[in-house]
Structures are given as C-alpha cells and as structure tokens.
Structure 1
Amino acid sequence: MKSLRLLVLFLLGMGVTGFLLSIDTPRWLVFAVVIIFYLILMVLPGIYITYFSNSLRQIERYVHRNRHKAIFAFPYALGHGDDRDVERSIERILTLHKQQAMQSIYRTLLAIYRGQPAIAAQHAAAIDREPLRSYYLAHIAASSGEFQRAAELSSRIQEPWMNHSIDALIAFESDDSNFPVHVEKSVKAARGIQKYTLEKSFNRMKKPLP
C-alpha cells in the first residue's frame, strides 16, 4: 500500500513538472513547486490524522503503520500490548526524547501506570504547560480517591475531553455507573491520536460496576 501511494505521488509529481515546463516556467520555480507539492501530500495527511482526525479506524491504521516509531509505540501498546509493553514504550520515549516537557509528561505517565501516585504527582507538578499540568494532577487525585481536589482541578480546565476524562476517572474510582457515559463523552470530544489513546486507555480499565 505504501509503495502504491509513493508511485501515485511520483506520477502526479511528474505530471505537475511536465505541465510547468510546458508553459515555460523557470526551472527554479518548477523545483520549488514540486518540493512543496511533495511536502504537502506526504506531510499534511500525517498531521491531520495525528491532531484532527475523528475516525478511530483511520487513526488505528496510522498508528499500526507507525508502531515502530517511539512516539506511536505508546498508543499502539495501549491497544495491543500488556502493561509491561506500555511501560516499555514509555521508557523508550524517555530514552529518545530528552526535552524537559516530554520528560515531565512521560515520567508522570510511567509513574501512573506503575501505580506510584506520589512520584507521578512530583513529575506532574514539573509540567510547565496548562492545561496538561492540571489534567495530570487531577488524574492522580482521582485515582487516589481525592475526588473533590480532582473536580476542583478539572474546573480550571477548558478542554472538554479532559473534563469528561476526569469525570470518568472519578466515576470509575467511586463505582459510579455513569462511568461509560463519561468515557463516551471524553472520546467523542477528543481528536487525533488523543482520541485513540483515550479509547484504548479506558478499554483497559476493567472494574465491575454495580
């Protein structure tokens, strides 16, 4: 499938090049247009799926194709691996991506998956971007049974999928039968890889409700 797509892009590029040359377009401009053409067709689809797609099937295919890349190995492990696979995928990201923001976020996630709320809270407090900082602190509070604090932190957040996600976590920990309702709202509000990550994360939460 990838080879076919590249062949189609190559043929389209050749067609564009031929057309531009036929109307006596300067060669430097032909080169620039062709490069931009390839960048748009090769890069934009990935950006759209990663950040804006609302199709879980489309996102699933994209994650599967890119599962060998560290940043996509994490959502892939959520959907297809066990807890150790998830931890290994996060550890790989931490090894390859040394930016402070990435380190704080993924160290928080790793501590959450290891059931270490105190350590997770320390790393979450170091996140310098809102609403991510409040979201992860609320996540940790909810999983620790501090529902009032989780709700207070959630009230500071203006991102609907985050609010519904915190509501879902509170419902999960308090055995509230509205858990599936909040999950559905959270996943529905999210887009791109975040939508897929939420869907797979909530699917892993197996706890009988009354």
Structure 2
Amino acid sequence: MQLWKLTFIYLFAIIACTFLLLMDVPKWQTFILLFLYVFLFTMYPHFNALLWTKNLKKVERFLEANRHKALYAYPYAIANQTIAEQKAALHKIITTYKQPYVKHNYASILAILENNYDQALSEAKQIKKEPFKSYMVAHSEAYLGNFEKAEALLTNLPEKWMSSSIKSLISFKKQDEENFKLHSTNAIKQARGIQKYLLTHSLQEMEEKFR
C-alpha cells in the first residue's frame, strides 16, 4: 500500500479515536472500532487476496504489487512469465525461507517443473506438516504414474479443491480429457484467493495440451 494512503488511514484513525474518547465512548468499544477500521483498510485486502476472494483480477493486482516478495513472485510468474523465471522464483523461496516444510514443499514443486519426479517425491516425503505433505506426495505419485498411491492419500486432504486437483492431474496423466475437465473445473470452483489463481493458470496450461 502506498505511503500516503497509510498516512491518511492512520491519521483518520487517530482523529476518530480522539473524538470517540471525548464523547465518553468506553475505551473497550473505542479499541474494537479502531481495530475493525484498521483491519478493514490495511489487512483485509491482503487476507482477501490470499484466502477469500474468487475475483482473479483482485489476486492479479495484489500479486503484481507484491511480486518483489519471494512467496508472491512464483504465482505471479506462473501466469505472466517464462519457465526459467518460474524456476528462479522457486529458488528464491527455497533460499529465503528457513522453515523446513516451506523449503521441501517448494523444492518438490521445482523438481516437478524440471520433470524430476523421483526428486519431487523425495522432497515431498520430507515435509513434516499436513496436509501439505499428503498433497505434494500425491502430486508426485500422480506424475510418476502411481495413481493408486495418489488416490489413497485423498482421504488426508481436508480441502475439496485439493482432492479435485489431484483427480484432475491423474486424469491428465491418463489422457482422460472428460474427467480432467470435470475435476479441474471443480478444483477451480472450490478454491479461493491465490490458490484459485494458481489452479486456474496451471490447469488451463494442462488443458491446452489436449488440443
């Protein structure tokens, strides 16, 4: 967010807070109102783009404004940049973040992008956090053609879009266009925020390979 906008938001908050206190509004009510106001104008757009919205244009604008940050450079690259730039974005995440589950998760994605599916599976199995581990292991098994192993992990996936995404990948690997369209459509409908954006662009790229 631009500096002048933040300055205006916080200046108005200070004035409003002073006014409410002068009107003898209880301090706890003033605090709640102040928090809701700041959340609405500063944090809500961030969380909305990340987790809640179904509007891909909002996500695109958010990613474009934040593409200098490691975690947002990769989804932006999927839709707007080359494979080489996508790999560079993944490398940046892997080297920037210290959490092991983040490193192994994105290392698995990078290995898939490089068509090194055994390495992708190895990285996925080192993820200690669920459901990320089950999702990436299922993803890797599907790319390896181990469809039964991938399907066995679907019960570990709490989000509907996760199961639909794995099913669409299995259908893609089987060259089953009808089921691919069914499951990919469901995955995109069920997802929100950046995940919807990622699925939309990655699954559309797969769909084009049927033509």
Q: TM-score range by the shorter chain?
A: 0.7 to 0.9
Deviations 1:48-95 (A, max 9, x none): 221122221211111111111111001000010111111000101111
Specify whether residues 18 and 164 from structure 1 end up closer, same or farther in structure 2 by C-alpha distance, changes over 3 A only: same
**1:181: how far off?**
2.0
Provide the C-alpha distance between the structure 2 equivalents of 1:175 and 1:10, rounded to a whole number of angstroms.
55
Equivalent position amino acid for 2:45 in 1: P
Match of 2:195 in 1: 194
Match of 1:135 in 2: 135
Equivalent position amino acid for 1:159 in 2: E
Are 2:56 and 1:56 aligned? yes
Q: Select which of 189, 207, 210 maps to 1:208.
A: 210
Question: Superposition pairs for residues 14-33 of structure 1, below 5 Å?
Answer: 14-20=14-20, 22-23=22-23
Provide the C-alpha distance between the structure 1 equivalents of 2:35 and 2:55, rounded to a whole number of angstroms.
29
**1:23: how far off?**
2.9
Provide the C-alpha distance between the structure 2 equivalents of 1:121 and 1:149, rounded to a whole number of angstroms.
12
Number of positions where the alignment pairs a residue of Structure 1 with one of Structure 2: 208
Deviations 1:2-54 (A, max 9, x none): 46743652453254144135336799x98997577435531232122211222
Match of 2:184 in 1: 183
Deviations 1:149-191 (A, max 9, x none): 2212224323210111011101111111221221111011111
Match of 1:157 in 2: 157
Provide the C-alpha distance between the structure 2 equivalents of 1:129 and 1:163, rounded to a whole number of angstroms.
17
Please, what TM-score do these two structures have when normalized by structure 2? 0.86
Provide the C-alpha distance between the structure 1 equivalents of 2:26 and 2:152, rounded to a whole number of angstroms.
61
| 38-47 vs 7-16, greater mean Cα deviation | 7-16
Equivalent position amino acid for 2:201 in 1: K
Provide the C-alpha distance between the structure 1 equivalents of 2:148 and 2:25, rounded to a whole number of angstroms.
66
Match of 2:118 in 1: 118
Provide the C-alpha distance between the structure 2 equivalents of 1:154 and 1:21, rounded to a whole number of angstroms.
54
Q: Say if 2:63 and 2:72, in contact at 8 Å, map to a contact too.
A: yes
Q: Secondary structure at the match of 2:53?
A: coil
Specify whether residues 31 and 135 from structure 1 end up closer, same or farther in structure 2 by C-alpha distance, changes over 3 A only: closer
Instruction: Give 5+ residue unaligned stretches, structure 1.
Output: none
Q: Secondary structure at the match of 2:156?
A: coil
Provide the C-alpha distance between the structure 2 equivalents of 1:31 and 1:56, rounded to a whole number of angstroms.
34
Q: Say if 2:118 and 2:144, in contact at 8 Å, map to a contact too.
A: no
Provide the C-alpha distance between the structure 1 equivalents of 2:87 and 2:108, rounded to a whole number of angstroms.
12
Q: Say if 2:177 and 2:210, in contact at 8 Å, map to a contact too.
A: no
Deviations 1:131-152 (A, max 9, x none): 2211111111111222222212
Please, what TM-score do these two structures have when normalized by structure 1? 0.86
Provide the C-alpha distance between the structure 1 equivalents of 2:26 and 2:177, rounded to a whole number of angstroms.
67
Provide the C-alpha distance between the structure 2 equivalents of 1:95 and 1:157, rounded to a whole number of angstroms.
27
| 31-40 vs 83-92, greater mean Cα deviation | 31-40
Match of 1:109 in 2: 109
